[in-house]
Amino acid sequence: MSGDTTSRTGVKLLIATVVIVLMPLLVLGFGFEDHLGDYFAQTVEPTTFAAATIAVLAVDVFLPVPSSLVNTLAGSRLGIVGGTVVAWLGMNLGAIIAFTLAKFLGRPLVQRLTRADDVARLEQLAEQRGVGLLIATRALPVLAEATVLLVGSLGVTWRAFLPPVLLANLGLSLAYAVFGHYAMQHGLLSTALVASIALPLLATYLARRWWR
C-alpha cells in the first residue's frame, strides 16, 4: 500500500469513527449525556460494569476495541480511583496475553494481527529505542498492540517488558479516569467519548505520517 493510499485510509477511518460516535448526538441532541449517564447508573451494577470493562480490555489485541473509549466510560461510571484500577487491570491483562502469545507463536501471529508496514517501521524503532517504544506507543490505537506483539516475538524478557508497560498503563488509566469522571460531572460525557476516540486516532495517523 503506498504512502498516499495509507494516508487517505487513515483520514477516512478517523472521519468515519467521529461520525459514528456523533450519531447519537445528532439523533438525541446534546442531552444524550444525561441519557447515557442514567443508563449506566440505573441498569448496570458497578461490579458487573467493572468485570465487563476488564474483560473487554483483555481481548483488545484480537478485537477492534477502542480502549480509550472504554477507559473513559470506566472513569465516568466508577470514579477516578475505581476507573483507574479497572482500566489498569484490563490493559495490563490484555498486554500480558498478547505478549505471551507472541512469545510462543512468534512472527506468524504478529503478521496475522498487524499491518506489514507498521511492523516494519516498529521493528526499526525498536532497534533504536528499545523497550522505550512500549511507552511511546501505549496511547496509540493499533500501534500499541502491534508493539507488544512485536517485542514478544523478538524475545524481549518479562523483566524488560513489564515495568514500562505497567507504568505507562497506570498513567493512561488515571488520565482517562479523570477525564471520564469530570466529563460526567459536568454533563459532557458524549463530547468526552468523541474526543477519547478521535484524538488517539489522530495521534496514530500523525505518528504514521511522521515515521514515513
Question: pLDDT for 129-158, tens place per residue?
Answer: 777 888 888 998 888 888 888 888 888 899
Nearest partner of 98 among 60, 140, 136, judged by Cα: 60
pLDDT at 153: 84
pLDDT at 28: 46
Nearest partner of 92 among 40, 158, 182, judged by Cα: 158
pLDDT at 46: 85
CA 80, 81, 83, 89 dihedral sign is positive
Do 153 and 102 meet the contact criterion of CB atoms below 8 Å apart?
yes
How far, CA to CA in Å, does 131 sit from each of 110, 123, 147, 184?
17, 11, 9, 35
pTM: predicted TM-score of the whole model, two decimal places: 0.78
